[in-house]
Structure 1
Amino acid sequence: MLAPPIVPAQRPIDLVHLSRMTLDDRALEREVLALFDRQMLLMMERIGSSTPDVAAAAAHTLKGSATGIGAWQVANAAAAVETAAKDGDKFSWQQRVAGLDQAVRDARCGISELLQAG
């Protein structure tokens, strides 16, 4: 049997930050999470099917939204994608997009759990 990690894994959404940003309004939290969930899908579609300039802009938008609600892993991964798109390094770009895709999947799962919990 494996021992639990000494430092718990970071949650996909920082609930303290989200609560502070929504003035502890649970209905607003749910609305913001649902909007962010849809935005992640739209921005990932743009990132995956656009020119580097458009992809960098979409990553920048996603980074700002993620920061606003406390989705730090998504924000950091989006920042890396934005930088890679601007640098034009295709190998780095592919790695960064894969990292962002994983962060988005984690965040979407976390959001789904939060919305289902009520």
Structure 2
Amino acid sequence: MANLATVDIPRAELSGACEGEAPILDLVHLSRQTFGDHALEIELLTLFERQAAQLAVRLAQAPGPGDSANRMELAHMVKGSARSVGALAVAAAAEAYETALRHGDGAQSRLCAALVAEIEAARAAILALL
């Protein structure tokens, strides 16, 4: 396995996105968060991958009436977890969805789908590393 602190996985490699976008995983950020502790990096990525899988399933379910508060809580949880491991595109998508829910934006379903897609891209990148 490569040294996680020295590898960024470009978004274009896994999702075909445009050049200049944030990497799927900012592993330099993760290394700073863990003070370079490689074992801790692996542990955090593993935990995030598992949690993200569970949350993606919940987010992919059709929202029920009055489900906005619960979904805002899920998006907020994803945002914090993603930021801690350097999954900054996931965090941005979670923040956009959380904001849309808070303001009753009509783009909620599109933003939720984008969040789930970002989660899956990050999970794929993590599994490729581990």
Query: Does the TM-score normalized on the shorter chain lie above 0.5?
Result: yes
Tell me, yes or no, if structure 1 residue 105 matches structure 2 residue 120.
Answer: yes
Q: Which has the higher helix share?
A: 1
Q: CA RMSD in A?
A: 2.0
SS in 2 for 1:68: helix
* Aligned residue among 90, 108, 121 for 1:93: 108
* Aligned residue among 17, 41, 46 for 1:29: 41
Per-residue CA deviations over 1:8-65 (Å, capped at 9, x if unaligned) read 5532110100011111111111110010011112222333445111000010011011
SS in 1 for 2:107: helix
Task: Confirm or deny: 8 A CA contact 2:25 2:125 kept in the other structure.
Answer: yes
Count of matched residue pairs: 110
- When the two structures are superposed, what TM-score results if normalisation uses the length of structure 1? 0.83
Q: Which runs of 5+ in 2 are unaligned?
A: 1-17
Task: Confirm or deny: 8 A CA contact 1:48 1:55 kept in the other structure.
Answer: no
| Residue 7 of structure 1: how far off its partner (Å) | 4.5
User: Please, which moves more after superposition, 41-50 or 102-111?
Assistant: 41-50
Task: Confirm or deny: 8 A CA contact 1:13 1:107 kept in the other structure.
Answer: yes
Q: How does 1:26-65 map to 2 (within 5 A)?
A: 26-49=38-61, 50=63, 51-65=67-81
Q: Report what 1:67 is aligned to.
A: 83
**Aligned partners of 1:58 and 1:83: how far apart in 2?**
12
**Aligned partners of 1:81 and 1:98: how far apart in 2?**
9
| Percent of aligned pairs with the same amino acid | 40
**Aligned partners of 2:89 and 2:126: how far apart in 1?**
13
What one-letter code is carried by the residue in structure 1 that aligns with 2:101? A
